[in-house]
Amino acid sequence: MAIEQLFEAMPLHYLQHGISKFGAANVALAVFVTAALGVLADYGWMLYLRSKMPPGPFPFPIIGNTYYLPDNKPWVYFEQLSRKYDTPLITFWIGRNPTVWINDAWTANELLDKRAGIYCSRPRMLVFAELGAGQSNLVNMITTTQAERDRFRVQRKLMHQGVGIQQVKRYRGFQNDESKVVAYDLLSTPQDYVEHFERYATSVVSIIGFGRRVADPKDPIITEVIAVMHRAADLNVPGKTFPMLLETFPVLAKVPTEIAPWKHGLGRRGGSHRGHDFFYSLAAEANENPGHEDCYAKLLFKEAPKYNLKPQEISALSGNLFGAGSDTSSSTLITAVLAMRAFPETLIPAWEELDRIVGSGRSPSFEDEVNLPYMRAFVKEVFRWRSVAIIGGQPHAPVQDDYYNGYLIPKSTWVQGNVWAIHRNERDFPDPDCFNPGRFMKGSADARPFPGEKGYMTFGWGRRVCSGQALAEQGTWLTVARLVWGFRIEPARDERGQPLPVDIFDYTNGLNMRPNLFKVNITPRSEAIRQTIVREGEQALADLAQFEGETRYRMSTFYSKK
């Protein structure tokens, strides 16, 4: 029978079914072959880049090195890899995306400071930026085009007008008063030291931003906003689970949040743009209130027509004050208390210096800093010993291909400074986990060369250095000096009277790490000092009364009404 006759003899529905089945199989095979070829081509490109980039673990197709990531504190793992490969730069593949980790201060200085014009941009960040604070936010902004660079300069200029080096000197009065209130509150409820530090740090930035102080440690502006900051910091830690894997598979971000469990916790619109409308509302409220004409919110609204500021930009710039000032500053103070508790011998020379220069009739002031070299060194060691922004903040990205010691760092690659490894390098900081202010004393046998004048890299590098650095350094020095001057930080004791130990490695896992809660016994050093703390605290509260006020907004209810 001829082939034509065979087809004619077949029932029509059988013929159609057979062709359909045959076609479907071909389509499936074609899809599989195409996908396989795509994976092979992509993997070939990964291996090519690997041959040019700094060394690191061998990546697998699609998943890269992600499987090897530890569940907690990946910066410790990257430090170990740097030692294993005996190189300051390592490449680690999060899925298909390579990240170059810098584990050495001198290399960080060479790339991120000396070549700041190249490493001035950010990579595309899906989770923290596009689904989070926004890629147009100053913190996350990509600057590969002239228009983007121009916008970056505008926002950076406005941020400097709020918390630049010269501006923060104007805030010393109320910052000093809020610091005195911390000491005053510690007399009555020393066990709540974490809340007192959070209230202090948040109140300072709230006065700067909105002209309103935060008097109550339970104020929602503290509890709710800091909780959001912690959540954002957790999201930005490199990980092998969602949502960080969205960076490798951005198509998954298009799945509706309602049916995408990997997007839960990222906020509205499948992202955490939660702060945008909220902080804009706080700024608008402050702008409408009479008085405090120099608060940052009023400056932004005044400059908005000149720079064509969008509401989202006003919101982001206002919200960045909290991100850069409240969580990080309070975490640094908690670390200072941990250091005092774990290394009490370092307090003896501090007390001698403070008693000689300051005495007991008043607490330290900003003017005393020049005469207190040991306290300056003490605070520098706080910043070095356990830096809050443990991976140097957001990743940098080169605006062009770059080479370092023969290694390629491709354009737009994630480049991250591992501050944990940088500040624990035995060459620069022998016995790095020991809290030793002597490292920063001129002429000390413990001092070592270090790039830059500060001696630490806590606040980042180049054009992406933390905008709030001057404010944080200023306030941290004064508050730590006042804590050391005023109090003994001694072991808390259990029901049998035995001292409770503290663990200097027990820190949170977020991008901005802080010690997990620990108990200490905080008492005034003398009766004369206690009386001084009371007198100064009561006067500070009277001076701060001009900033008292309430806001009608709460983050927890703000979006439920929309």
466 marked as part of a ligand binding site:
yes
Q: What is the 3-state secondary structure (H, E, C) of 494-529?
A: CCCCCECCCCCCCECCCCECCECCCCEEEEECCHHH
Contact status, residue 257 vs residue 264, Cβ threshold 8 Å? yes
Helix or strand holding residue 100 (H, E): strand 97-102
Question: Cα–Cα distances in Å, from 114 out to 90, 120, 402, 542?
Answer: 20, 11, 13, 47
Q: What is the 3-state secondary structure (H, E, C) of 235-259?
A: HCCCCCCCCHHHHCCHHHHHCCHHH
Q: Are strands 97-102 and 414-417 parallel, antiparallel or unpaired?
A: parallel
**CA dist., res. 325 & res. 314, Å (int):** 17
- How far separated are the first and last CA of the chain, in Å rounded? 74
397 bridge partner residues: 121
- Centre a 10 Å sphere on the Cβ of residue 491 and count the other Cβ atoms it contains: 16
**CA dist., res. 92 & res. 395, Å (int):** 14
> Does a cis peptide bond (omega within 30 degrees of 0) precede residue 243?
yes
**CA dist., res. 466 & res. 121, Å (int):** 14
Binding residues for heme: 466
